Amino acid sequence: MVKKSKAELVIKGIAAASGIAAGPAFLLDQQDFVVPERAILDDEIPIEIARFEESIAHTKSEIQDIKDKIAKEVGGQESQIFDAHLLVLEDCMLIDEVKKKIASEKASAEYIFSQVLKRYIEIFENIEDAYIKERSADVSDIGRRVLKHLMGETRLHDFDTLLGDIVIVAHDISPSDAVSMYNKSILGFLTDIGGQTAHTAIIAKSLGVPAVLGLKDATLRISNQDYVIIDGRKGVVIVNPTEETKRLYEKEKAKLALVEGEYVNIKDVPAETTDGRRASLMANFELHGELPAVLRSGAEGIGLYRTEFFYMNRIDLPSEEEQFQEYRRIAEEMSPNPVVIRTLDLGGDKFVSSLQLPREMVPFLGSRAIRLCLEEQEIFRTQLRAILRASAYGNVMMMYPMIAGPGELRAANGILKGVKQRLRDKGIAFNENMPVGVMIEVPAAAMTADLLAQEVNFFSIGTNDLIQYTLAVDRANEKMAQFYEPGHPAVLRLIRRTINAAHDAGIRVGVCGEMASDPTLAVILLGLGLDSFSMSPTSIPQIKRAIRSMKFSDMEELARQALKLSTGQEVLEFMVAEIKRLVPDFYIYDAQNK
């Protein structure tokens, strides 16, 4: 009897790390330990408490070893994600509760700890805040490790038995598990839960493998050895693909390989149109471990240095010295190219436990970015001092996020002025002429761009938020994806207005949102007069190829025509058709290629 093949299944999740991979699935078994209840005698209570304390000590040592390993292999900043684990192990409330229950309920340490742990995890998972909910994975991971020591288990997962190229499928992947996968043949990660703020996303990017998270029930729908295709750019997973689908993706990968081969030849040449218009292509940047990719890409600098990572996934606030050393290191390694440091952009979807900010009903419209900095001025001053000190060691520029108009800009600059004076008083060196700019991310800023341009050195358009606020679309909500249109006429007109205002004032303007990495939209942006682009390092070669393949005069005409269209979809279809007509051999990756 011929075995019936499984039907192709397509699952949509959250694109967490870009790339395409294909191979057999390996389901990571992370079920909780089965801990039977075991009664103890009165004279065993001190013994059980001692066993519990010893297991906590062993686990601390184990986590510290893992933290040291990732600091050595990936980077010091990335290793800080384990500070949250250590904090759980130092939680006096949890530890005291376990000790008291061992004595009052006269049950084994492992049973009492497992019951207390389950209650803590349930509390985390029932909190609506996505970031806090994801932290339940930290508590769960620590719990399994403590129980491992209490129950005499030798290991949580036998990663040494992983053979061949595999795709890891799990409900969640803890940071410590991910570290254990270094130097293994891991093709990619798929998880039921998690989002772009999850540790798994950070680890996947560090490992350079694609990841799709938030698949909800992937572990129930995927079996061991199922053949899966991961499209990390679109957040799509295809399980048991047909031969036709396999061929399509093999063709896709082959195209990408050929294109990437072509890009090597243009790495060190300028992004210049065939009729002489030149644009600067820079990289978005967050972690020091990303620097080699930035340098390999041929980026002309860092156009957006996100500083939030210093504040996230840790139990304390970063010191001035810690920030200064890191900013200085990046500035020196990128010199003489510019490094544009964005001041703290927390709030919205970026949570920091050490600030203990109250949960807001509409976080994206609440206390975030420059508003938060103006409220928490000492935190702001600390960062400003670090940035200014680093400006003495390279081509450092600085910009404020989420400025809505001249009032906020002047308030921020007032604080900056005071910080500069104190540095002068102490004789601390900094660049007196460090360029200061603003991000144009809300319609109010675009509409007052002519006023803002009189008081800054440059603009950087943050299109991700500009689109969100202009179209009233939560970009983190999958249900709203159909309404998120980067090419919407309102968005394009606000961008045109911003560019014109900048040029009228004699300052440069760039884009650092995802629009910069889409060739169909990048062509429009350059046609509107944009001076620079900042994007993921992996996107730079494709955008450079697009720019070098066309005339600027053609781009200007395409931009004029695009502004006459009625919808973002019309703009996309028009641009794809026109680029293919003008540059027949240019490869465009979009939904129509599938």
- Kindly report, residue by residue over 349-400, the tens digit of the pLDDT: 444 444 544 444 444 566 678 988 998 899 999 999 999 999 999 999 999 9
Q: Catalytic site residue 512?
A: yes
Q: Catalytic site residue 92?
A: no
d(CA 391, CA 383): 12
Q: Which CATH class is domain 9-26+159-241?
A: alpha beta
Residue 111 has pLDDT above 50, yes or no: yes
Which position has the higher pLDDT, 408 or 369? Answer: 408
Quick one: 36 exposed, middle or buried, by C-beta within 10 A (0-12, 13-18, 19+)? exposed
Which position has the higher pLDDT, 75 or 513? Answer: 513
Q: What is the pLDDT of residue 211?
A: 87
Q: What is the pLDDT of residue 141?
A: 72
Task: Supply the DSSP symbol for 501.
Answer: H
* Confidence tier at 452 by pLDDT (50, 70, 90): very high
Q: pLDDT per residue over 253-262, tens digit each?
A: 787 777 677 7
**Torsion over CA: 268, 274, 276, 280 (sign):** negative
Residue 291 CB contacts under 8 Å (≥ 6 apart), including other chains: 285, 330, 333
Domains 9-26+159-241 and 42-151 share a fold: no
Q: What is the pLDDT of residue 87?
A: 77
Q: What is the pLDDT of residue 130?
A: 57
Q: Which among 539, 515, 538, 514 has a CA at the least distance from the CA of 526? A: 515
Residue 159 has pLDDT above 80, yes or no: no
Which position has the higher pLDDT, 235 or 366? Answer: 235
Q: What is the pLDDT of residue 477?
A: 54
Task: Provide the β-strand partners of residue 14.
Answer: 213
Find the mean pLDDT for residues 572-587: 88
Residue 588 has pLDDT above 70, yes or no: no
What are the residue boundaries of the structural domains of the chain, listed by start? 9-26+159-241, 42-151, 256-593
Residue 185 CB contacts under 8 Å (≥ 6 apart), including other chains: 162, 163, 164, 165, 166
Find the mean pLDDT for residues 228-249: 91
Structure tokens at 292: 């080699």
Q: What is the pLDDT of residue 36?
A: 73
Residue 344 has pLDDT above 50, yes or no: yes
* Confidence tier at 506 by pLDDT (50, 70, 90): very high
Active-site residue identified among 199, 288, 373, 488: 199
**Torsion over CA: 544, 549, 555, 559 (sign):** negative
Q: What is the pLDDT of residue 183?
A: 52
Q: What is the pLDDT of residue 464?
A: 86
Residue 557 has pLDDT above 90, yes or no: yes
- Window from 32-41, 118-127, 131-140, 377-386 with minimum mean pLDDT: 131-140
Find the mean pLDDT for residues 183-194: 79
Residue 497 has pLDDT above 60, yes or no: yes
The beta-strand segments (E) located in 286-362 are 302-305, 338-342
CB 538 within 8 A of CB 575: no
d(CA 69, CA 42): 42
Q: What is the pLDDT of residue 348?
A: 47
Q: Nearest 5 degrees, angle CA 127-CA 133-CA 137?
A: 140
Other C-beta atoms within 10 Å of 557: how many?
A: 13
Run of H or E residues at 152: none
- Window from 83-92, 154-163, 490-499 with minimum mean pLDDT: 154-163
Task: Supply the DSSP symbol for 563.
Answer: T
d(CA 19, CA 187): 10
Which position has the higher pLDDT, 277 or 479? Answer: 277
Q: Nearest 5 degrees, angle CA 13-CA 14-CA 18?
A: 115
pTM of the model: 0.69
* Confidence tier at 2 by pLDDT (50, 70, 90): very low
Q: What is the pLDDT of residue 89?
A: 82
Q: Which fold has domain 256-593?
A: TIM Barrel (3.20.20)
Find the mean pLDDT for residues 264-286: 92
- φ and ψ at residue 436, rounded to 5 degrees: -125, 130
* Confidence tier at 241 by pLDDT (50, 70, 90): very high
* Confidence tier at 217 by pLDDT (50, 70, 90): confident
Task: Provide the β-strand partners of residue 26.
Answer: 168
Q: What is the pLDDT of residue 49?
A: 92
Query: What mean pLDDT, rounded, does the chain reach?
Result: 83
Residue 29 has pLDDT above 70, yes or no: no
- Whether omega before 210 lies within 30 degrees of 0, making that bond cis, reads no
Q: Which fold has domain 42-151?
A: Enzyme I; Chain A, domain 2 (1.10.274)
* Confidence tier at 219 by pLDDT (50, 70, 90): confident
Residue 492 has pLDDT above 90, yes or no: yes
d(CA 442, CA 494): 10
* Confidence tier at 200 by pLDDT (50, 70, 90): low
Find the mean pLDDT for residues 94-109: 92
- Window from 96-110, 284-298, 350-364, 486-500 with minimum mean pLDDT: 350-364
Structure tokens at 396: 């450092």
